[in-house]
Amino acid sequence: MVGVAGIHMLIAAQGGPDLPTVDDFLPPEILFQGTPFAINRIILVRIVATVAMLLILGVSAHRAKLIPGRWQGVLEMGVSFVRDNIVYEVMGALRGRRYVPMIATIFFTILVFNLCGIVPGANIAATASVVMPLVFALWTMVQYWIAAVREKGLGRFIRDEVFTPGVPWPVYILLAPIQILELLVIRPLSLTIRLFANMISGHLMVATCLAFAQYWMIESADKLMGIPVGATWFVGGLLMTCFEAFVAFLQAYVFAILSTVYINLSYPEQ
């Protein structure tokens, strides 16, 4: 029986599979090269996904009926999930009503952008570069500050965030800079990096499984061992694709609920 070392030696001897690299997330420009409007593959996926969402939702809204059909029922169920299980669950109905459109937009956009990673022809999540997660994180932080200033006033908000009540004054020398750093940097970065890193890792795992499957089943000279090994990698790729779909939903849910929690923190305690 050929061991793991023997398999790696065989791969090295035959050139090996074409594994995914960081270049997948820094694709070359394909449209309007060299201009401020240059578009690469990830940007193109975002544009296509956004247009598709707007068309589907626009047509669905135009054809909405008092007694919903099957498709309208699915859409309304999705909106109800965000409203009741995310926004109202965290903020309550009275306070959260203002933020349902925002959080629903964040949730469904991130979900669709994430699912692009397993859509044939796209094959990469539209959130797999740092810019798009950062945009959503900054939107959350802007709403956080707007709500805080509206409810508390700027001075009281900063005082409450930086100088935690009940802490001895000498501790503020260490605590205050940490609180400022958390307010301005850590919270938006935590939202950004969590989504960005999960989408990158998911793409790498799926692409690696399928690359090994293609290598062993098509390119390998040893068909006796290549077919079963490649089939195993292919099954692993299918399982990882299903798992990536679950992660796409989970990351959209986590981002939406954390955004709601952060905005809710800007309100005075009830």
Q: Tens of pLDDT along 191-221?
A: 898 888 888 888 888 888 888 888 877 777 6
Q: Which domain holds residue 159?
A: 20-265
Q: What is the pLDDT of residues 230-243, one digit of tens each?
A: 888 888 888 988 99
In angstroms, the CA 121 to CA 124 distance is 9
In degrees and rounded to multiples of 5, residue 39 shows phi and psi of -125, 125
Number of domains in the chain: 1
Q: What average pLDDT does the structure give for the chain?
A: 83
In angstroms, the CA 187 to CA 263 distance is 11
Token couple for 107: 């949730």
pLDDT at 223 over 70: no
**pLDDT value of position 15:** 57
Classify residue 87: in a domain, yes or no: yes
In degrees and rounded to multiples of 5, residue 31 shows phi and psi of -135, 140
Classify residue 78: in a domain, yes or no: yes
The reported pTM is 0.83
pLDDT at 184 over 80: yes
Classify residue 93: in a domain, yes or no: yes
Q: What is the pLDDT of residues 118-139, one digit of tens each?
A: 888 888 888 888 889 999 999 9
pLDDT band at 222 (very low <50, low <70, confident <90, very high): low
Kind and range of the H or E run holding 258: helix 223-265
Classify residue 10: in a domain, yes or no: no
Classify residue 77: in a domain, yes or no: yes
In angstroms, the CA 74 to CA 77 distance is 5
Q: Is 2 left (phi over 0), alpha (psi -120 to 50) or beta?
A: beta
**pLDDT value of position 94:** 87
Q: What is the pLDDT of residues 65-94, one digit of tens each?
A: 877 788 888 888 999 999 999 999 999 888
Classify residue 116: in a domain, yes or no: yes
**pLDDT value of position 3:** 46
Token couple for 240: 């990882």
**pLDDT value of position 109:** 94
73 three-class SS: helix
pLDDT band at 269 (very low <50, low <70, confident <90, very high): low
**pLDDT value of position 49:** 93
In angstroms, the CA 222 to CA 2 distance is 12
Token couple for 242: 């299903």
pLDDT at 59 over 70: yes
pLDDT at 163 over 90: no
Q: Is 68 left (phi over 0), alpha (psi -120 to 50) or beta?
A: beta
Classify residue 163: in a domain, yes or no: yes
Classify residue 13: in a domain, yes or no: no
Q: What is the largest distance, in Å, between two alpha-carbon atoms of the chain?
A: 73
